[in-house]
Amino acid sequence: MTSISSASPAFTGKDPHNRLFGPLPDVTAEAGYDEDHPARVGFFTDTSVCIGCKACEVACKEWNTLPMDDSHGTRDVIGLSGMSYDNTGQLGANSWRHVAFIEQVRTVDLPMPTVGRPGDDPRGSVLNAEALTEFDPQTGQSGTDKQVRWLMSSDVCKHCTHAGCLDVCPTGALFRSEFGTVVVQGDICNGCGYCVSACPYGVINRREDDGRVFKCTMCYDRLTDGLMPACATACPTQSIQFGDLDELQARADARLATLKEQGVETARLYGRDEDDGVGGNGAFFLLLDEPEVYGLPPDPVVTTRDLPAMWKAAGKAALMIVGVAATAVFGSRRPR
């Protein structure tokens, strides 16, 4: 759950020899795949067209046969969360897609007086009116006195260019697939949980009654059959778009430009920048507000960024890590 700010003093800039940080044009080749490997794929989640239907959550659970929240399939443990229409809460071992709902309201300084009605208390006015453009034209509003905006966004594993979970996994349970995605191998994972704290987004998590960790695989199995991931297949409004990452990036840039043109000043891309703390994301977003509003870290940095520097400085430490890895190997035989 750690997120490190890139403003940290430890940040020393780009190191061309650091393969755990900075832009990486071909993450798949970096992971040892032949030159003719498939293009890196990803998700572009355009929250400006999300209608919060949660089809992504359900389609994901159906395809990946994920359990209900409590993993027994009998009773929802969370109950009514009270967080708008979000009763899933967050991404976790059993929820690989999660739709956040953010209700925003703001009082408006009226540019014009309300219709003069005797007896109306302007402060207490609860009358409703024309959509103004204070939020932006992409979102519905109502009210001259108050404007309401309801943001929805489907979150998912970011499939980072530099994936902390992958870098720290001592057993090789996490791997980079030929599609450039980051996937947990259930037949390897021993449930050590290092990856859980290594993820700057708090995505990967352990399933309580199972012990192992689980997260979005970008439907690795479906990709091998030439299909799109279940969530992107279901998404009614194409808020979740799947495809070759470079194409998605171009599409996202164009979409952002269109929105800006329409005066949607609040629109921004998140996870698109290859120079960010995780080398850019395989799953990135178009947001209509600050990332924090959606529960996303504003400036995530891969937790293993400084690993090479540390090793250079301390060979002993490296040996120790080898030792740790060996321990993990022998200690990881899970009874079946």
Partner 1 sequence: MPGLGASFGRGGATNFLEDLANSDCIVIEGSNMAECHPVGFQWVMEAKARGAKVVHIDPRFTRTSAVADLHVPLRVGTDIAFLGGLIRYVLDNDLYFREYVVAYTNAAAIVGEEFVDTEDLGGLFSGFDPETRTYDEASWSYEPSGQDSRTDDPGEAAEQERSEQHPDVKHSDRAQAAGSGGPPIPSKPHRDETLEHPRTVFQILKRHFARYTPEMVAEVCGIEPEVFEQVARWVTENSNRDRTTAWVYSVGWTQHSVGAQYIRTASILQTLLGNIGRPGGGIMALRGHASIQGSTDVPTLFNLLPGYLPMPHAMQHQTLDEYCADAAGKGGFWGNKRAYTVSLLKAWFGDAAQPENDFRFDWIPKINGDHSSYRTIADMIEGKVHGYFLVGENPTVGHPNGRMNRFGLANLDWLVVRDLQMIESATFWNESPEIETGELAPETIGTEVFFLPAASHVEKEGTFTQTQRLLQWRQKAVEPPGDARSDLWFYFHLGRILRSRLADSTDPRDQALLHMTWDYPVHGETRDPDAEAVLREINGTGPDGRALSTYVDMADDGSTSGGCWIYTGVFADEVNQAARRTPAREPGAVASEWGWAWPLNRRMLYNRASADPEGRPWSERKKYVYWDSAAGEWTGADVPDVERTKRPDYVPPEGASAQDALAGTDPFVMQGDGKAWLYAPAGLVDGPLPTHYEPVESVVENALYAQQASPTVERIEGPWNRENPSMSEVFPFQVTTYRLTEHHTAGGMSRTLPYLAELQPEFFVEVSPELAALRGLTHGDYATLVSTRTAIEAKVLVTERVRPIRLRGGQVVHQIGMPYHWAYSGLSTGDSANDLLGIALDANTHIQEDKVSTADIVPGRRPRGPELLEFVESYRRRAGVGSGRVGVNGRAPVAEGDGDDQVT
Partner 2 sequence: MICRSEGRAFGQPDPAGGGSIDGVKTWLDAWPVFRQLTGPDPLGRGRAARSRGTEAVVSRTATADRVAASVCPYCAVGCAQKVYVENERITQIEGDPDSPISRGRLCPKGSASKQLVTSPTRVTKVRYRRPYGTEWEDLDLDTAMEMIADRVLEARRKGWQEVDGPPENRHRVNRTMGVASLGGATLDNEENYLMKKLYSALGAIQIENQARI
Exposed, middle or buried by CB within 10 Å (0-12, 13-18, 19+), for 303?
Answer: buried
According to DSSP, the residues that pair with 106 across neighbouring strands are: 147
Answer yes or no: is 231 a known binding residue: yes
Asked if residue 171 lies in contact with residue 194, where contact means CB atoms within 8 angstroms, the answer is no
First-to-last alpha carbon distance for the chain, in angstroms, is 30
How do 41-46 and 283-287 pair as beta strands?
Answer: parallel
Q: Check binding of 87 to partner 1 (CB under 8 A).
A: yes
Rounded CA separation 271/163 (Å) = 13
Tokens 């899970």 belong to: 334
Asked if 53 interacts with partner 2 (CB under 8 A), we say: yes
DSSP assignment of 189-254, as one string?
-----HHHHH-TTS--EE-TTT-SEE-----HHHHHTTPPPHHHHH-TTS-EEEEEHHHHHHHHHH
Stretch that binds partner 1, among 131-139, 220-228, 244-252, 328-336 (CB under 8 A): 131-139
- Residue 282 near residue 41 (C-beta atoms within 8 A): yes
Provide, rounded to whole angstroms, the least separation between the CB of residue 76 and partner 1: 4
How many residues of this chain interact with partner 1, rule: CB under 8 A? Answer: 56
The answer to whether residue 85 forms part of the interface with partner 1 (CB under 8 A) is yes
CA 241 to chain centre: 14
Please indicate if the annotation marks 195 as binding a ligand. Answer: yes
- 8 A C-beta contact, residue 229 and residue 223: yes
313 is in an annotated binding site: no
Radius of gyration of the chain (CA): 22
Q: What three-state secondary structure class fits 312? A: helix
Residue (27 or 129) nearer to partner 2, CB: 27
Q: How far is the CB of 61 from partner 2 (least distance, A)?
A: 8
Contact 89, 205 (CB under 8 A): no
| Choices 131-139, 144-152, 182-190, 279-287 (CB under 8 A): range interacting with partner 2 | 182-190
Does position 322 bind partner 2 by CB under 8 A?
A: yes
Pick the stretch among 9-17, 24-32, 82-90, 128-136 that binds partner 2 (CB under 8 A): 24-32
* 283-287 and 268-270 strand pairing: antiparallel
Touching partner 2, residues 57-76 (CB under 8 A): 57-59, 62-63
The β-bridge partners of 205 are 214
Q: Which does 267 bind (CB under 5 to 8 A by kind): partner 1, partner 2, none?
A: none
Residues 119-178 that bind partner 2 (CB under 8 A): 166-167, 169-178
Q: Which residues bind partner 1 (CB under 8 A)?
A: 49, 51-55, 57-58, 61-62, 67-69, 73-76, 78-80, 82, 84-85, 87-88, 103, 105, 114-115, 117, 119-120, 125-131, 137-144, 146, 148-152, 236-238
Q: Which residues bind partner 2 (CB under 8 A)?
A: 19, 28, 30-33, 53-55, 57-59, 62-63, 166-167, 169-178, 183, 185-190, 220-222, 224-225, 227, 230, 233-236, 321-322, 325-326, 328-329, 332-334
Write out the binding residues for [4Fe-4S] cluster.
Answer: 50, 53, 56, 60, 157, 160, 165, 169, 189, 192, 195, 199, 216, 219, 231, 235
